[in-house]
Amino acid sequence: MQSEIKSMAVMARDRQSGAQPVALLALAALGVVYGDLGTSPLYALQEAFNPEHGVQATPENVVGVVSLFLWSLILMVSVKYVLVLMRADNKGEGGILALLAQITGEKPETGKRSTAAWVLLGLAGAAMLYGDGVITPAVSVLSAMEGMQVATPALAAYVVPCTVVILVLLFMVQPYGSGRVGVAFGPILATWFVAIAALGIAQLWQNPAILQAINPIHGLTYFQRNGFAGFVSLGAVVLCLTGAEALYADMGHFGARPIRLAWYGLALPSLVLSYLGQGALLLAHPQLSGRPFYSMVPEWGLYPMVALSTLATIVASQALITAVFSLTHQSVQLGFFPRVKVLHTSGSHKGQIYLPLLNWILMLATVAVVLGFRQSDKLAAAFGLAVSTTMAITTVLFAVLARRRWHWPWWAVIVVAGGLFAIDLAFWLANVLKFLDGGWLPLLLGLIVFAMMGCWFGGRRLQVRDDADRQLPIDLLLSSLQMNPPPRIPGTAVFLSESADGTPLVLLHHLKHNQVLHETVLLLTLQMLDSPRVDGERVGVQWLGEGVARVMARYGYMEEPDVPAVMERAAELLGLAEMEPLSTTYYLGRQTLVAAAKSGRFKRWMLGMFSFLRQNERSATLYFRLPPNRVVELGARIEL
């Protein structure tokens, strides 16, 4: 669904700029970027007046809370993401991993300790997005279906079962790809935004006194009046920002201008009118604070509104599911996650991918969350902590980028990033107070993913350093081959190596055990860059002598390696005859890392997890698209 719009966006963006292409991209951006932000009015404001941890819906509190909602949208979305973070793009791509790639610059596993610290922080933020990917479908669809019990209280018993059915169907259609129905995303969300704006205007017409909320002074006096309880309610205010990360993460598919046009042209005005409308309703009927959104809807329009909100929340859920697929794919390419099976659901658009194992894990986790919490207001407490944690980490990484890469003066970093981080920190602290009310859920999910990514990153870091220490300089190998040439056999041998320097360890093991060498030896290194895609020539070659050549192939973190295609291009550049598949052998090294006897508990645990993930990751033969009957794997046990 979302990927078709993204593909259309890329093609349209490449044409000459004009009003029509920009308008189409803006419509597409509505469906992909603003699904989560757009459906927040379903549950956000009611959480601020939750009897368990909210404030009473007095006129002063209603005006104050709505003022906080409006200015949060202005400061955190319009300023932080639209004006500031969207300038921190990595060759047009955004997102927390794109931001991290700009900070590290070099290969993360070989970088300095300070670089490793920022990598781990970035991985923590990325891990929290997995929690968001589980909770968003649950809370969005559940809040939409709760409209049934507003229309007819007798339908309350069917809310959870219907939610589960919709979610299961949503995950079951993922293997078929998202292209065919993707073009409906933009119109659905456009209709949704127009509908919530109309509902807000209707309430404003009846009670315009809520327009006082536009003055930020009412938000400040709200804290003075309510003290600690007012601070705690920030945990509900942050819910109006759910999905703000999508502005940054999806900018590469649409460009900054269409996203900004969609935000200022429709999304922001509609959200402002919706929250003002809900506030106007509560000024007149404070007893409706438990369900203000559906209480705005006329009785005749309840069922159509439930249907429209269900469609809108499905769009929001699909956007998060696809985002998790994309995030995992990027993590694998950057070396932060073990290889997983990736299926392309379109023959013409590479961006449409499907990860089978991850899809079913997400489905089981999301259904379990719905069955466990059963109400959207209970899930909202869990939702806020995931959102605020990711937002705070993004701000910290932006500060590092501004200082380290952009060379901003300290005062500018403190004013811009420091001011935004102060708001992020307030949101985060308010949500931490809801830890026992459900905030533990995203932290638990994030901790599981972070443990996997952290152990994988740490294990790869140790492995790369050990390989560098044990590698033989290529000059020494060539000298040895010249002085003591081993028997040469017909054909071509391709040795895959992670390092572009020295001799691949798998080649040394091959010479040690087999004591023969092919007539042509190609040392292949696949280099994953910190940019999304490669411009220009992908493959570079160099003859080293003694029938040995080095081949370098560059890939961006949004691309997938294809070794046979690389070898065809390498043969052409090296002046070799076309490489015969039956006379070409691919050699892969498979190392098992174990902790030394004197190692500490943490190192033992980390290497144990790394080895477990290494054994269960997707086969390198399938991942690199190698012919299975032409692959030789040589294993080694390494003690660290």
SS3 (DSSP) at 587: strand
Residues whose CB is less than 8 angstroms from the CB of residue 615 and which lie 6 or more positions away in sequence, other chains included: none
What does the pLDDT average to over 496-502?
Answer: 81
What does the pLDDT average to over 264-290?
Answer: 93
pLDDT at 378 over 80: no
Count Cβ atoms within 10 A of the Cβ of residue 143 and give its class: 0-12 exposed, 13-18 middle, 19 or more buried.
Answer: buried
What residues are paired with 586 via a beta bridge?
494, 631
User: What does the alpha-carbon distance between residue 52 and residue 140 come to, in Å, rounded to a whole number?
Assistant: 21
- Say what percent of the chain tops pLDDT 70: 90
pLDDT at 431 over 90: no
SS3 (DSSP) at 57: coil
Q: Which residue type sits at 423?
A: I
Count Cβ atoms within 10 A of the Cβ of residue 27 and give its class: 0-12 exposed, 13-18 middle, 19 or more buried.
Answer: buried
Structural domains in the chain? 2-212+237-460 (1.20.1740.10), 471-639 (no CATH)
Taking only the tens place, the pLDDT of each residue in 68-118 is 999 999 999 999 998 988 888 777 777 788 888 888 764 555 455 567 788
Q: Give the pLDDT band of residue 20 (cuts 50, 70, 90).
A: very low
Contact 38, 312 (CB under 8 A): yes
So what's the pLDDT on residue 114? Answer: 60
CA 490, chain centre distance (Å): 47
Contact 35, 41 (CB under 8 A): no
Count Cβ atoms within 10 A of the Cβ of residue 209 and give its class: 0-12 exposed, 13-18 middle, 19 or more buried.
Answer: middle
H-helix segments, 112-175: 113-145, 147-151, 159-172
pLDDT at 1 over 60: no
So what's the pLDDT on residue 502? Answer: 81
Taking only the tens place, the pLDDT of each residue in 207-258 is 999 999 999 999 999 999 988 888 988 888 988 988 887 778 777 667 788 8
Radius of gyration, alpha carbons of the chain: 27
Number of Cβ within 10 Å of residue 213's Cβ equals 25
Q: Which contacts of 148-157 are long-range, i.e. CB under 8 A and separated by 24 or more positions?
A: 148/306, 150/291, 150/294, 150/295, 150/302, 151/294, 151/299, 151/302, 151/303, 151/306
pLDDT at 586 over 70: yes
So what's the pLDDT on residue 341? Answer: 82
Tokens of 298: 């006329």
CA 581, chain centre distance (Å): 38
Taking only the tens place, the pLDDT of each residue in 248-266 is 877 766 778 888 888 999 9
Local structure of residue 235 (DSSP, 8 states)? H
Taking only the tens place, the pLDDT of each residue in 155-203 is 788 888 999 999 998 888 877 755 444 556 778 889 999 999 999 999 9
Number of Cβ within 10 Å of residue 65's Cβ equals 30
Tokens of 513: 């055990």
Tokens of 147: 């409209």
SS3 (DSSP) at 361: helix
- Residues belonging to the chain: 640
Q: In what order do the strands lie in the sheet with 488-496?
A: 539-545, 548-555, 517-528, 488-496, 584-594, 631-639
> Average per-residue pLDDT in the chain?
83
So what's the pLDDT on residue 592? Answer: 76
For the question of whether the overall pTM of this predicted structure is more than 0.95, the answer is no
User: What does the alpha-carbon distance between residue 458 and residue 4 come to, in Å, rounded to a whole number?
Assistant: 37
So what's the pLDDT on residue 348? Answer: 45
Q: Which residue has the higher pLDDT, 11 or 47?
A: 47
Contact 252, 93 (CB under 8 A): yes
So what's the pLDDT on residue 418? Answer: 93
So what's the pLDDT on residue 252? Answer: 67
So what's the pLDDT on residue 7? Answer: 44
Taking only the tens place, the pLDDT of each residue in 287-302 is 988 889 989 999 888 8
In 3D space, the residue among 186, 181, 184, 180 whose CA is nearest the CA of residue 31 turns out to be 186
Contact 52, 289 (CB under 8 A): no
Strands (E), 327-405: 343-344, 353-354
Assign residue 311 a region (left: φ > 0; alpha: ψ between -120 and 50; beta: otherwise).
alpha
User: What does the alpha-carbon distance between residue 213 and residue 68 come to, in Å, rounded to a whole number?
Assistant: 8
SS3 (DSSP) at 187: helix
Number of Cβ within 10 Å of residue 142's Cβ equals 28
Q: Give the pLDDT band of residue 12 (cuts 50, 70, 90).
A: very low
What does the pLDDT average to over 378-390?
Answer: 79
**φ, ψ for residue 551, nearest 5 deg:** -120, 130
pLDDT at 57 over 50: yes
User: What does the alpha-carbon distance between residue 555 and residue 608 come to, in Å, rounded to a whole number?
Assistant: 30
In 3D space, the residue among 376, 263, 372 whose CA is nearest the CA of residue 27 turns out to be 263
pLDDT at 8 over 50: no
So what's the pLDDT on residue 35? Answer: 82
Q: Give the pLDDT band of residue 284 (cuts 50, 70, 90).
A: very high
Tokens of 246: 């999508």
Number of Cβ within 10 Å of residue 292's Cβ equals 29
Residues whose CB is less than 8 angstroms from the CB of residue 112 and which lie 6 or more positions away in sequence, other chains included: none
Tokens of 512: 């040690």
Number of Cβ within 10 Å of residue 396's Cβ equals 17
Q: Which residue has the higher pLDDT, 463 or 410?
A: 410
β pairing state of 343-344 and 488-496:
unpaired
